[in-house]
Amino acid sequence: MDNFYITTAIDYVNGSPHLGHAYEKVLTDVIARIRRMMGDRVHFLTGVDEHGQKVQQSARKRGIAPQQFCDEVSAEFRAMLTKLNVSNDDFIRTTEERHKRVVRDILQRLFDKGEIYKAEYQGYYSTRQEQFLQEKDRNPDGTWPEIFGDVMEITETNYFFKLRQYQDWLVQFLTENENFVFPKFRQKQVLEFLKEPLNDLCISRPKERLEWGIPLPFDENFVTYVWFDALVNYVSAVADQPGVWPANWHVIGKDILVPPHAVYWPIMLQAAGLPLPKGIIAHGWWSFKGAKMSKSTGNVIAPAAFVDEFGADALRYFFLREMSVGQDSDFTDLQFKARYNADLANNLGNLLNRTLNMSNRFTAGVVPAAGADGEPETELRALWEQTRAEVPQLWNGFQFHLALERTIAFVTATNAYIEKRAPWKLGKSANPADQALLGTSLATMAEALRLAAALLRPFIPDSVAKIHAALGHTPSADWAQECAWGGCLQGAKLAPSLVLFPRIQSEEKPPAKP
């Protein structure tokens, strides 16, 4: 049994969760569920990033303590996970003691090794915004924008991490591990970035400017800033569980790949003498009706509303079916409904319902024994063998959109199979040959449904549980065995009719014809 450790990015608690956060968690969850199903010992970590200036400011604005602010927003993120049926094994918050301890340990270790040094930094500082400014913040005429107020050039002392001396090592590492970042074009982008010399990384902020952080163990007048806090969560969360680190995959958004996850993080680990993760998955972004989704534009969809209306599985299915991992996609109500109706309601849901109905009508709701295969059965079985071989390979390559297309194609083929056999006709015939054929077709329908469910389980776990219940089936712990076409449903008592995914009625009137 292999260990499999997978993480999501930890979300910054400065705002409420939105569709993009939801996607990342679901994507990671699907991978985690697949590995569990395959028999791995999975550890799935997610969490929140709670330190930093913005949190401090937001809390102050509301007149509450930063910790209380974090408690509230973190609760929202946790609620989202529950709502989406995300099967994380742990949830880390960077304000937790277990995290702070490890961050300080690592910082101390690097400091002792001479990987961290103190230096002066000179720059333009806006007291009003409490931040250093970049040259690009200037107006074209060289003045500073009004919002910054008085800008002065100041000198500040800070601690720096010797990033640069690991640059060549990292380039070599990435060259030797060409699949470190998925998708591949992202890895190229990292190497592109590394063609320019790296600057050493400023890892501290003086306490006068930022209180809400982890104090440096070797200088309590400073707190550590952003990356040495946030990235370390992947290690700190499992510090007391030997054998879990290194992670197999860090699942993150494309925006935080370069430089944090693909440059800082490997170098930090290497410098600290810790093993590197095996890979990074950088997913794309959802737009909404063609427009980018962002906190600042307010163009944000609350995932909770969708879940309340259509169920977690509907959203999970859409996420994975519609987006090619690594690419961007557009989310529209229309597309969501089209997918939902076509794949889940009309195809899968309807297959279940007609199977249950006919079995109840013709064989008292008990799955009969299948007779010898005729041509329709042989054909469907052949498609199944092909599908069960193909789909896991697509899973391994994170080609979930294709995997689901193939899976649903098998469901479509099952619906077509039913048309060929027309059990509703056979059921009305007293002819023993027809009755035998009726048994075969009902058994085959139920079996095909059970098998499709085996491929859908990581994606729509609740619905698959309902399918299993309706089929009177307890899935095998051995997934390969669960995928074997056989007679294990024979004699099972089926539920009465069941509408798994109620069809979404279109509110729009059909367009007038020209």
Partner RNA sequence: UGCAGGGUGGAGCAGUCUGGUAGCUCGUCAGGCUCAUAACCUGAAGGUCCUUGGUUCAAAUCCAAGCCCUGCACCCA
Nearer to RNA, 37 or 471 (CB): 471
Tokens 């469901």 belong to which residue? 411
Least Å from the CB of residue 510 to RNA: 6
DSSP string, 330-375: EE-HHHHHHHIIIIIIIIIIHHHHHHHHHHHHHHTTBPPPP-S--H
Nearer to RNA, 183 or 475 (CB): 183
Q: What is the DSSP letter of 376?
A: H
Nearer to RNA, 468 or 503 (CB): 503
CA distances 422 to 168, 241, 427, 434, 441, Å, are 67, 57, 9, 11, 8
How many CB atoms sit inside 10 A of residue 413's CB? 18
Nearer to RNA, 191 or 274 (CB): 191
Q: What is the DSSP letter of 250?
A: E
Partners of residue 124 on adjacent β-strands? 133, 153
Nearer to RNA, 110 or 323 (CB): 323
Nearer to RNA, 108 or 189 (CB): 189
CA distances 192 to 186, 248, 268, Å, are 10, 24, 20
Per DSSP, the chain holds a count of helices (H) and strands (E) of 19, 17
Nearer to RNA, 81 or 418 (CB): 418
Least Å from the CB of residue 399 to RNA: 7
Tokens coding 513 = 């014809």
Least Å from the CB of residue 28 to RNA: 10
Nearer to RNA, 17 or 475 (CB): 17
Least Å from the CB of residue 197 to RNA: 15
Q: How far apart are CA 479 and CA 38, in angstroms?
A: 6
Least Å from the CB of residue 185 to RNA: 4
Q: How far apart are CA 86 and CA 26, in angstroms?
A: 6
Least Å from the CB of residue 60 to RNA: 17
Q: How far apart are CA 314 and CA 345, in angstroms?
A: 10
Least Å from the CB of residue 301 to RNA: 10
Task: Look at residues 19, 10, 46 and name the one whose alpha carbon lies nearest to residue 31.
Answer: 46
Least Å from the CB of residue 338 to RNA: 4
Asked if residues 406 and 394 have their Cβ atoms less than 8 Å apart, the reply is yes
Least Å from the CB of residue 287 to RNA: 7
| DSSP run (H or E) holding 378 | helix 375-396
Strands 201-202 and 116-126: unpaired
